[in-house]
Amino acid sequence: MGNHYANVTVYNVTQEKIVDYLSSLKRTAFISPTINKFTVIYDRDISADCNEKLFPVSQISNFFNCAVMAAYLHDSSEFGYKLYLNGESIDTYNSDCVENEAVSKYDKAKKITEIFECSDRLLAIDNILSKSSALSTETLINYLDNYDKFGVDI
């Protein structure tokens, strides 16, 4: 069994508002400072597949009427994300899933950059998605640790 890692990035909602909201749900989590409109939630209950029963990703997106991305690494080899806008699931990605081949990774990257208003990061995000099935665990974790900033090229 390999490494597992997951986090949730909330767009355009401050750290203080997220802390207040999660506290009202009786949840405990590490919440990053808000930088360039991005705030990251690190919660031990965020599962490797971002299971909604364990952590309320869509509920956060719905409550704040915002974009939320849950990204994960499962068993050191499977990279994926779930993207929500105003509580609705609008995109998913799983590096092990054959269905992903039907939709170009460039189109998925474009959707992410449009939702998070960072079109200047399109090629970097496309690069992450295109390489994700062949990347080492350390590289994927580095990507996941830095993707929320969208300004870090690796």
pLDDT > 70? residue 152: no
Per-chain mean pLDDT for the chain? 79
This prediction's pTM: 0.77
Which of left, alpha, beta for 141 (phi over 0: left; psi -120 to 50: alpha)? Answer: alpha
**What per-residue confidence (pLDDT) applies to 71?**
86
Q: Using an 8 Å Cβ cutoff, are 113 and 122 in contact?
A: yes
pLDDT of residue 56: 83
Mapping DSSP onto H, E and C, the string for 53-64 reads CCCCHHHHHHHH
Is pLDDT above 50 for 153? Answer: no
Round the CA-based radius of gyration of the chain to a whole number and report it.
Answer: 14
Residue 89, beta-bridge partner list: 84
Report the distance separating Cα 89 and Cα 105, nearest Å: 17
Task: Compute the distance between CA of residue 39 and CA of residue 33 in angstroms, rounded to an integer.
Answer: 6
